[in-house]
């Protein structure tokens, strides 16, 4: 069976297999969760703003070239491209820049993840007012359960971090700003993203975010990069898998679903990352974290469950 798929100006086939549509959220979570692994591999060889700016600049060039090669639509009004630029600043410079800065400044990754994991709740609360989205009581319960699941997954690491060092105030502030920027960017992308060609619009987002991050790097960093094989591999992974694959898939999901339901998928990112860290780095996966994985999955299932008429 085939299901209709909404796309912008013919940029994708009009129909997609139902199985592919059903698998899209799972694929997104798996791809997005590898970003933390890529950052762990690459950050020792480049400072955060420099690393992110380089990544986004390369991704912008690749997407622009792909748009030309595939003859994807490029036409949009200046207002639409300006909105795309603002969304790019929020999602890529604000959200990613804030998280990378916090972690590079000494804030434990688990603590950063707990702060930004509040995004689905914040997005859902604002979407009911700004986007006229409606959530039933069971979906609100799912959002709350998801927060609890993420907290359980990250609890062992957060508790260990609190015993060894105090949290840097600048790192906490950066995470709060990242949370606000990610929420605002998601809402803006949901409201106006359909009006902008997917490939060209995303290329503009990356280009604007890269310029801002390059300026931040020039002002605060040495911009020195150790071009090791490990760094190149991490950079290639983050560009191709995250900036091209995962982000385009995120925008596709936002075009098909509500901002609240798509944001709830971020509850599954910390559990997926915990499993990947266990497999790749041998990091511990305590029983409480396993319970959190189950709880977060249940929370997302409740949010994504179609409400009864």
Residue 221 confidence (pLDDT)? 92
Over residues 135-153, the pLDDT tens digits come to 778 777 877 887 787 777 7
309 lies in a domain?
Answer: no
For residue 137 the two structure tokens come to: 């009581």
DSSP state of 46: B
Q: What is the pLDDT of residue 53?
A: 95
Sole residue written with tokens 């469950």 = 305
On whether residue 266 sits in a domain, the answer given is yes
Q: What is the pLDDT of residue 12?
A: 45
Q: Is 242 within a domain?
A: yes
Using pLDDT thresholds of 50, 70 and 90, give the confidence band for residue 222: very high
In angstroms, rounded to a whole number, what is the distance separating the alpha carbons of residues 210 and 219? 14
Binned at pLDDT 50, 70 and 90, residue 2 comes out as very low
pLDDT, averaged across the chain: 79
Maximum alpha-carbon separation in the chain: 58
Residue 74 lies in a domain: yes
Helix (H) or strand (E) holding 306: none
Q: CB–CB of 232/7 below 8 Å?
A: no
In a domain, 8, yes or no: no
pLDDT of res. 107: 73
SS3 of 196, please? coil
Q: Which domain holds residue 256?
A: 23-304
Arithmetic mean of pLDDT, 30-40: 79
What is the distance between the alpha carbons of residues 284 and 274, in angstroms, rounded to a whole number?
A: 9
Residue 31: inside a domain, yes or no? yes
Does a structural domain hold residue 5?
A: no
263-280 burial: b if 16+ Cβ within 10 Å, else e: bbbbbbbbbbbbbbbeee
Measuring CA to CA, how many Å separate 305 from each of 126, 261, 268? 20, 9, 16
Question: Which distant-in-sequence residues (6+ apart) come within 8 Å of 119 by Cβ?
Answer: 179, 182, 183, 186, 263, 266
Query: 131 pLDDT exceeds 70?
Result: yes
Cβ atoms of residues 32 and 242 within 8 Å: yes
Cα 171 from Cα 100, distance rounded (Å): 9
Percent of the chain past pLDDT 90, that is, above it, reads: 19
Q: Based on the structure, what is the number of domains in the chain? A: 1
Indicate the pTM of the whole model.
0.75
In this model, does residue 217 exceed pLDDT 90? yes
- Integer Cα distance of 167 and 161 in angstroms: 9
pLDDT of 93 above 50:
yes
- Least-confidence region, from 20-29, 93-102, 282-291: 282-291
DSSP 219-242: HH----B---HHHHHHHHHIIIII
What is the Cα–Cα distance from 132 to 126, expressed in whole angstroms?
A: 9
Q: Residue 97 domain-assigned?
A: yes
């Amino acid at each position: 069976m085939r299901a209709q798929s909404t796309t912008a100006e013919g940029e994708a086939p009009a129909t997609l297999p139902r199985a592919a549509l059903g698998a899209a959220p799972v694929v997104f979570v798996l791809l997005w969760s590898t970003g933390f692994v890529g950052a762990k591999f690459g950050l020792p060889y480049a400072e955060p703003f420099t690393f992110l700016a380089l990544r986004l600049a390369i991704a912008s060039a690749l997407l622009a070239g792909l748009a030309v090669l595939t003859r994807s639509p490029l036409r949009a009004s200046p207002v639409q491209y300006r909105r795309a630029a603002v969304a790019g600043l929020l999602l890529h410079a604000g959200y990613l820049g804030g998280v990378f800065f916090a972690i590079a400044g000494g804030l434990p990754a688990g603590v950063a993840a707990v702060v930004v994991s509040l995004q689905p709740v914040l997005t859902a609360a604002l979407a009911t007012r700004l986007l006229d989205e409606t959530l039933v009581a069971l979906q609100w319960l799912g959002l709350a359960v998801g927060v609890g699941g993420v907290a359980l997954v990250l609890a062992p690491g957060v508790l260990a971090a609190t015993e060894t060092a105090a949290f840097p105030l600048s790192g906490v502030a950066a995470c709060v700003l990242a949370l606000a920027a990610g929420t605002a960017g998601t809402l803006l992308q949901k409201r106006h993203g359909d009006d902008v060609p997917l490939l060209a619009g995303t290329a503009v987002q990356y280009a604007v975010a890269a310029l801002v991050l390059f300026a931040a790097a020039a002002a605060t960093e040495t911009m020195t990069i150790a071009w090791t094989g490990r760094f190149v591999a991490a950079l290639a992974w983050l560009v191709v898998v995250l900036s091209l694959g995962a982000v385009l898939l995120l925008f596709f999901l936002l075009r098909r679903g509500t901002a609240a339901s798509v944001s709830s998928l971020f509850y599954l990112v910390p559990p997926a990352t915990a499993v990947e860290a266990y497999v790749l780095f041998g990091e511990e996966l305590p029983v409480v974290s396993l319970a959190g994985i189950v709880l977060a999955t249940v929370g997302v299932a409740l949010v994504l469950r179609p409400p009864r008429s």
